Chain A
Amino acid sequence: MDELIKRAKELLEAGTVKVVIGYENGSADKTRALFAIEPKDADKLIFDSRCVMNLATYITKAEVKGKGKMAITATLPVMRAIIQLASEFQVNDSNLLVLGITPESKMIEFKDLAEVEAFVHKYTIEIEAKYSEKLEKLDKMTPSERWSFWIEELSPCFKCYACRAACPMCYCHKCTVEFNQPQWIPVPSHDLGNLEWHMMRAIHLAGRCIDCDACYNACPLGIPLNLLTKRMLIDAKEHFGGYQPSIKADHLMSTYKPDDKDNFIM
């Protein structure tokens, strides 16, 4: 990634950006986010297959955004997240420069977010086979079996909200779960509180989730909560033809088609 380091340095030296967000080596064999502010910081930049955290979660963080114009090392999921965020007016060309990394690990610098969008649209969001199998298995269960499965799987959740914090789309500073007049979602982590929190999360990500698995990767308890968002993704495709993050296009869940099909409304 010499090219990346070189470009990051140039950008910082020229003052084009104030911070370059990328990956560096972390604890054990993990990688972590790097915020290069001085040109020399950029020497620590790396990129390899371990770099899976969705860095887009940082571009809405006030402390990072507050530094000034950002550049970000962006893999495909990160780019998708950026476009979704741009469509929700959270980032724009004036505060973000994207140093894309293609699925072939090539660096491309994008002139603007419109170019990023065009690049993102070359690829469709596909559910990985290992997840499709799990989802199919769940589909084959009876509703009662699924209910037991989820109550059991969600039972360890202690509501640390790492899933929310790691998700680039969960940038709201006051989440529904923190809305307490009325208290929509029970705050304590018990079966009901956990169920409602995870349902709410899935619904709020419907039509917005870009399937990066950041939530699952962040969960300290290994709860397969990304199955919920994946299911929403499949439903979006099945019922409404799916979606791609897009700066200008209408959002899947805030729009409708008069001929949306259903088979259950009497």
Chain B
Amino acid sequence: MAEFEPKIVAFVCNWCTYAGADLTGTSRIKYASNVRIVRFPCTGRIDYMLLVKAFDEGADGIIVSGCHPNDCHYTSGNFHARRRWIMFRSLCDFIGIDIRRIKFSWVSAAEGAKWADIVNSTVAAIRELGPYEEYQKVAKKPVKEVING
């Protein structure tokens, strides 16, 4: 059997982490190709429901990343985001969603190497955890044929 290749979705802000990931490229630092970046203007724009949707559609892991505190292009979008992440992550944990599969990070436009590290360590961690079958069991059989069973 082929080795499990985790599907990882990264939700990143345009000004820091996206630019940081650009720098990873400019610096020709290699990292695992399992990640797909979705670009947002700001971490403040990242709707927690999108994270849930990513799991719904079969993501094995998620990275959410933006500007370091005080660095936000929009002054405080990342501060708002952090507050929401704290609550959202806790709720996920309470519900039993595997929070080891959601990595939050601050990666600045200057941290190309850090971005590569974040991706590589996340891929390694998710590889270790395996496919997110527990969630998929619920997500992929949404329509029950019979009642309450």
Residues of A in contact with B (beta carbons under 8 Å apart): 138, 141, 143-151, 155-156, 176, 184-186, 188, 190-193, 195-196, 199-200, 202-203, 206, 228, 231-232, 235-236, 239-240, 253-258, 260, 262, 264-266
Contacts and interface: CB of A to CB of B under 8 A. Distances in A.
Interface string B106-149: 10000000000010000000000000001000110111100010
Given A199-B91, A200-B49, A228-B91, A253 B83 contact: yes
Contacts of B148: 155-156
A236 B87 contact: yes
Interface stretch (B23-31, B33-41, B74-82): B74-82
B142 A150 contact: no
Interface magnitude class on chain B: 35 or more
A128 to B, nearest CB: 18
B82 A262 contact: yes
Nearest to B53: A184
Contacts of B83: 240, 253, 255-256, 260
A183 to B, nearest CB: 10
Nearest to B89: A264
Interface in B78-110: 79-80, 82-91, 93-99, 103-106
Nearest to B49: A184
Contact of A262 (B56, B86, B96, B97): B86
B67 to A, nearest CB: 11
Given A156-B148, A199-B52, A231-B90, A147 B134 contact: yes
